[in-house]
Structures are given as C-alpha cells and as structure tokens.
C-alpha cells in the first residue's frame, strides 16, 4: 500500500513537472473582449500567436469586465492555486481610476497581488493605464506613478500604457471612447508582446 501511494505521488509529481507552463491574464474589460466579437481580443490573439510559435505556454484569461484591483486581490489566491502560472499579466486599475477610488488603496491592492504571485514563484508583467485629463492633473499623474513605483519596488517589467499609440485613432474605439474595437486589438497585442516576449525567452 505504501509503495502504491509512493508510486502515485511520483506519477503526479512527474505530470506536474512536465505540464506546460501557464500564463494567467488578470484584467478588466480591456482584456475580457468587452463589446467585440468573441475570440477577437488581444488575449485571444496572444493565444494564437503562442500556438503559431509552438510555444510551451498555455494561456488562461481570468479577466472580468468591471473588475477592480480589490476584486483581483480577492481572486488571485484561488487562481494561483488552481492554475499555478509561471507568468501573470496584471492589467487592473483602470476601473479604480474611473470610479475615483483612493489611489493608495489601488496601489496596496496591486502590491498584494504582485506579492501573492511572487510567493507562488510566478513572474509578473504589470500593465498600466492612464486616466482622462478631466480627472485633474494631480490625480492622473499619481495614478500613472503608482504603476512605475510598483514596477521599481518589485523589479518587474512594466508596460506603462496598454493602449499606447491608439489614442490618435479615434476610429479604433467603441462609442464609449474607452474600449478598442476588434480592428485595434492586434495593435494592443503588439504593445503587450514587446514586454512579454523577453519573459518567454527567459524560462
């Protein structure tokens, strides 16, 4: 009986060791294909790129429309335990800003998520956002600084703005002016890919 248990344990360990490393995307509506056809968002495009490159990585999209950093903080432990990702793409904070939530709380929530990932030996790619100018210079500046400060503190790669380069093309956005249309998703992917690719090569 003991030998059988040891054998089963060894088989489980070997299977886990040989399992494809996972990339977990923890984001909001910008990563959850809000308002666009299914499988046309940047995360789906990333999945296809990984497949085309015969990458060892699998991809899990745990993004939810309307998600805040507080919600992500509440979910991260179970997601890490379930999927055991090697890399976490953290794209949260935009909804905090749009709701005018305290920036200190947003920073603390993101820090807690990053620390949870580190505790599970998962590397983090932090993706920043920007607020519309009508939120005031002080708020928008500190909002962006939150991401830079966290990236520096934890020494993790940072994409300062997910939608970099899209702002001058208003036709690439839905009627709300916030969410890119399907045609713009490849450009969003390229922004992410520039920061993610070096992480994939450094397994």
Q: List the catalytic residue out of 58, 78, 176, 202.
A: 176
Q: List the catalytic residue out of 29, 31, 44, 116.
A: 29
Q: Is 63 one of the catalytic residues?
A: no
Check: CB of residue 173 under 8 Å from CB of residue 70. no
- With H, G, I as helix, E, B as strand and everything else as coil, classify residue 64: coil
Q: Is 29 one of the catalytic residues?
A: yes
Q: Is 78 one of the catalytic residues?
A: no
Residue 9 CB contacts under 8 Å (≥ 6 apart), including other chains: none
Residue 113 burial (CB < 10 Å; 0-12/13-18/19+)? buried
- With H, G, I as helix, E, B as strand and everything else as coil, classify residue 100: coil
Q: List the catalytic residue out of 44, 63, 96, 179.
A: 179
**Which residue bears the tokens 């015969």?**
54
Check: CB of residue 185 under 8 Å from CB of residue 40. yes
Check: CB of residue 166 under 8 Å from CB of residue 157. no
Provide the b/e sequence for 78-87 (b: ≥16 CB within 10 Å): ebbeebebbb
User: Which residues are annotated as catalytic?
Assistant: 29, 176, 179
């Amino acid at each position: 009986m003991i030998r059988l248990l040891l054998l089963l344990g060894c088989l489980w360990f070997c299977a886990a060791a040989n399992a494809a490393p996972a990339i977990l995307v923890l984001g909001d509506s910008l990563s959850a294909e809000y308002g666009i056809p299914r499988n046309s968002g940047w995360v789906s495009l990333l999945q296809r790129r990984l497949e085309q490159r015969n990458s060892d990585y699998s991809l899990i999209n745990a993004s939810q429309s309307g998600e805040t950093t507080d919600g992500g903080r509440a979910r991260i432990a179970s997601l890490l335990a379930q999927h055991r990702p090697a890399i976490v793409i953290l794209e949260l904070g935009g909804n905090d800003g749009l709701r005018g939530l305290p920036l200190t709380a947003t920073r603390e929530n993101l820090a807690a998520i990053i620390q949870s990932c580190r505790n599970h030996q998962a590397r983090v790619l932090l993706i920043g956002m920007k607020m519309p100018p009508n939120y005031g210079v002080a708020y928008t500046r500190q909002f962006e600084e939150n991401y830079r400060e966290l990236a520096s503190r934890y020494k993790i790669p940072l994409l300062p703005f997910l939608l970099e380069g899209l702002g001058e093309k208003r036709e690439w956005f839905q009627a709300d002016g916030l969410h890119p249309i399907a045609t713009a998703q490849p450009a969003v992917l390229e922004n992410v890919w520039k920061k993610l690719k070096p992480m994939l090569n450094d397994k």
